[in-house]
């Protein structure tokens, strides 16, 4: 877990929002909220001089990193787990999002409503009595990682149909468009298994 996390802008978000804005106005206030690092990890002193129109999110030779603070999209804590898509489980400064019925507002990460509750559970299960230490780091404002001694599995389940405790079936919109592939698999021949059933 990273307390007071930074946020490195992902290639998809660079292409969708950040780079188009910087192409129009490289002096925009937007760039002031990031540290821009070159390939050697050195801070670029004058990012407004970068020819932003030459790059996309995937070939940009710079990293844009937002520092910890009240406007950081990761909030006050993020949980890092291995995946190729830059997905984190994290806090959010936009607490009002949890009051919405439709919450598919993220670019891919997973916001959680009670992140420090999760942090405390993980620390306890990992044999670390770190809730005081967690609060000290949070109060300091510095970015710090707490590594778990043993890994915990992260299982992301995506479903568009569920059954509540009363047995009522609920259908949700397929926002990631995964249902067609699932339906194709369900409708496909059972192959070798079907031969054994005939």
Q: Token pair of 109, please?
A: 């990460």
- Say yes or no: 126 and 188 in one domain: no
- Say yes or no: 146 and 174 in one domain: no
- Say yes or no: 113 and 192 in one domain: no
The domain total for the chain is 2
pTM score: 0.74
- Say yes or no: 130 and 184 in one domain: no
- Say yes or no: 148 and 165 in one domain: no
- Say yes or no: 28 and 62 in one domain: yes
- Say yes or no: 147 and 168 in one domain: no
What is the torsion angle, in degrees rounded to the nearest 10, for the CA atoms of residue 91, residue 97, residue 101 and residue 104?
-70
d(CA 37, CA 84): 22
Q: What is the pLDDT along the chain (198 residues), one digit of tens a residue?
A: 999 999 898 888 889 888 998 888 877 666 777 899 999 999 998 888 899 999 999 999 999 999 898 888 889 999 999 888 778 899 988 777 767 777 676 667 888 999 999 999 999 998 887 678 888 998 999 999 999 999 899 998 888 999 999 999 999 899 889 999 988 888 886 654 544 444
Domain boundary residue, one of 152, 173, 188:
152
d(CA 70, CA 93): 6
- Say yes or no: 87 and 181 in one domain: no
- Say yes or no: 7 and 73 in one domain: yes
pLDDT at residue 33 in the model:
77
Domain that holds residue 85: 1-152
- Say yes or no: 146 and 167 in one domain: no
- Sign for the CA dihedral angle at 72, 73, 76, 82 comes to negative
d(CA 20, CA 18): 6
- Say yes or no: 139 and 51 in one domain: yes
**Percent of the chain that is helix, strand, coil (3-state, to 5):** 35, 15, 50
The dihedrals phi and psi of 134, each to the nearest 5 degrees, come to -60, -45
pLDDT at residue 98 in the model:
67
Domain boundary residue, one of 134, 152, 170:
152
- Say yes or no: 78 and 6 in one domain: yes
pLDDT at residue 198 in the model:
42
Q: 167-183: buried (b, 16+ CB within 10 Å) or exposed (e) per residue?
A: eeeeeeeeeeeeeeeee
């Amino acid at each position: 877990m990273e307390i007071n996390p930074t946020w490195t802008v992902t290639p998809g978000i660079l292409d969708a929002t950040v780079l188009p804005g910087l192409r129009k106005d490289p002096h925009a206030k937007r760039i002031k909220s990031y540290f821009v690092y070159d390939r050697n990890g050195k801070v670029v002193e004058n990012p407004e001089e970068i020819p932003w129109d030459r790059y996309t999110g995937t070939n940009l030779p710079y990293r844009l990193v937002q520092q910890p603070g009240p406007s950081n999209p990761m909030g006050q804590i993020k949980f890092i787990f291995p995946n190729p898509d830059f997905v984190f489980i994290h806090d959010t400064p936009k607490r009002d999002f949890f009051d919405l019925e439709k919450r598919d507002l993220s670019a891919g990460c997973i916001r959680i409503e009670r992140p420090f509750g999760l942090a405390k559970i993980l620390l306890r299960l990992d044999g670390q009595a770190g809730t005081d230490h967690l609060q000290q780091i949070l109060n300091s404002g510095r970015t710090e990682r707490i590594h778990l001694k043993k890994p915990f599995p992260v299982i992301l389940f995506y479903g568009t149909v569920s059954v509540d405790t009363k047995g009522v079936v609920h259908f949700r919109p397929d926002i990631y468009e995964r249902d067609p592939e699932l339906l194709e698999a369900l409708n496909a021949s059972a192959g070798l298994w079907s031969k054994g059933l005939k």
